[in-house]
Structure 1
Amino acid sequence: MINNKTAGMSAAERKAFYLSRLYMILPIISVSLLILLWTTVARNSEFPSPKDTFDRLILLFQKPIKGLNIFGHVWASLVRVFAALTFNWTFGIAFGILIGWNKKCKVLFTPLFNAFRAIPPLAWIPLITIWMGTGELSKILIVIFGSLASIVVNTQAGMSNVEQLYLDVGTIFNANARQKLFQIAIPSALDAIFAGVRTSTSAAWMVVLAAEMLGAKSGVGFLITRGMDSIDMPLVLMSMIAIGIVGALLSIITQFAERLMCPWTRKRSD
């Protein structure tokens, strides 16, 4: 079958064809090796095996924790992430454009922003918890503080690195400052902005898990805490796998959105 497909191909085309097939097989091999290693370690220790973890997943559907199965807890975490990202992508992109485009605002706000982003996300947890308790708003604020800096930094970098040649062309065609900003600078910085969107999404997903370990009643981070408190290792491991799968899906979705909005990034990566 493969020989028939490659019969009329040149050497370069055959090489590209075989490489594409290899790239499809390699992820399957890596996952298989991971499962093999996991099974071997579990067989020689008290570490939960794949079967134990799968059985715990089935038990979570049969006996939900706090009335939620794994999908309910994942959705609870995602709601917090989306709420925080809505603010971050709105305020963060606008603020990044402001300090990346306006030199006076950059000089005014950059020192304060640099001090803010130097504070680790987890350092905000005690302050926000004391100030606002352990409700939903406090968890969303922790996620906001933990993922805001990346979108601002990338947006600022994209705006600051707009080619002067593009702006000079706009000047030649009598473009005013508003037209240069919205029709030249921002479109030129879209790839950097989307890089910030990807980074902030990953950061938000990581930070929300830490926030949920403190007083939450739902979410994947809550499941890990519940498993730790009850010494339920299969529950902890199942939650960690869910975290990895959801994180990978979020990465794929944001990368797809970037390629849809900035098709030139696909050509560069290819």
Structure 2
Amino acid sequence: MKNKNIWLNLLSVLSVVLLILAWCAVSMNPDGMIPTPFAVWERFLLLLDKPISGANIGIHIVDSLRRVFMGWLAATLVGVLFGLMLGWNRTFSAVCKPVFEMIRPIPAIAWIPLITIWLGVGETSKIVIVFIGAVMPIVVNTYTGVSMVPELNINVGKIFGANSRQMFLKIVLPSSLPAIFAGLKTAVGVAWTVVLAAEMISAKTGLGYIVNLGSNSADIALVVIGIIVIAVIGALLSAVLTRVERWLCPWKEE
């Protein structure tokens, strides 16, 4: 088993190396549309020496992370509770689910003009937009997890005389945790997508602002820097959530 894990880790490293080699090969095109890794590294060093909008790369990362975290956290609190109610309470589902299903297909980005008009172009509007984008997959995965709880588990709880509260806390909620965490991880990716779109429209800091600035000034290396930073942060956040999931759902490993 240990040798298998080592082999799988080596394959993961190899895939990253192959991606970098492919990048190097494609960037050799003389048209210069794709910067080389060395050119991106040089632009990164220049970015450290000459901050954009008076803020170094760390401040841009922190600002984007703060917007993502606040919107995602609010979406987690509201989305998990709402999803549990949709999956557990038939009356609540009959009233609220049709409205939710009508709103759910609307892309979060489509709300940007309205939210900007209602709340302005400050931090609140960006956090609200992130919330709208992140809450949808959390709700869907949560109520799907509740609806997929095996009927056998419910029947066993009834046989042992569990009341509704005990049934929910001891059977339904633990069984739904893997689906809930799948929604949380999906929501992280959606939150990054939405916050970048919001920052491209109205922000002076953030990774979305950096990508937009690079695009408008034909600074492709700067765009690639923003993309790489977003990818690394997104992967780290997903890894953290996976660790938390393994801690809370140890049975899933089996």
Superposition TM-score, scaled by structure 1 size:
0.88
1:23 aligned residue: 8
Q: Equivalents in 2 of 1:181, 1:29: separation in Å?
A: 45
Q: Equivalents in 2 of 1:121, 1:142: separation in Å?
A: 6
User: Is 1:34 matched with 2:19?
Assistant: yes
State the shift of 1:17 in Å: 5.3
- Aligned partner of 2:153: which letter? Y
**More moved, 228-237 vs 158-167:** 158-167
Q: Equivalents in 2 of 1:170, 1:30: separation in Å?
A: 46
- Aligned partner of 1:35: which letter? I
State the shift of 1:29 in Å: 2.3
- Aligned partner of 2:29: which letter? N
1:264 aligned residue: 251
Give the greater-gyration-radius structure (CA): 1
State the shift of 1:172 in Å: 2.7
Instruction: List aligned pairs for 1:82-161, cutoff 5 A.
Output: 82-161=69-148
Instruction: List aligned pairs for 1:40-55, cutoff 5 A.
Output: 40-45=25-30, 46=32, 47-55=34-42
User: Is 1:209 matched with 2:196?
Assistant: yes
**More moved, 46-55 vs 17-26:** 17-26
5+ long unaligned stretches in structure 1:
1-15
1:173-209 deviation per Cα after TM superposition (whole angstroms, max 9, x unaligned): 3222112112221112111111111111121122111
1:231 aligned residue: 218
Q: Equivalents in 2 of 1:27, 1:170: separation in Å?
A: 43
Instruction: List aligned pairs for 1:56-71, cutoff 5 A.
Output: 56-71=43-58
State the shift of 1:231 in Å: 1.6
5+ long unaligned stretches in structure 2:
none
State the shift of 1:80 in Å: 0.6
1:121-173 deviation per Cα after TM superposition (whole angstroms, max 9, x unaligned): 21111111222221111111111111111000111011112222222222233
Q: Equivalents in 2 of 1:27, 1:103: separation in Å?
A: 45
- Aligned partner of 1:106: which letter? S
Identity over aligned residues, as a percent?
A: 45
Q: Equivalents in 2 of 1:29, 1:177: separation in Å?
A: 51
- Aligned partner of 2:20: which letter? I
Q: Equivalents in 1 of 2:138, 2:216: separation in Å?
A: 35
Match of 2:175 among 179, 182, 188: 188
- Aligned partner of 1:157: which letter? T
State the shift of 1:68 in Å: 2.3
1:98-128 deviation per Cα after TM superposition (whole angstroms, max 9, x unaligned): 1100111111111100011110121111111
SS, match of residue 43 in structure 1 = coil
4+ residue stretches of structure 1 with deviation over 6 A? none
- Aligned partner of 2:50: which letter? K
State the number of aligned residues.
Answer: 252
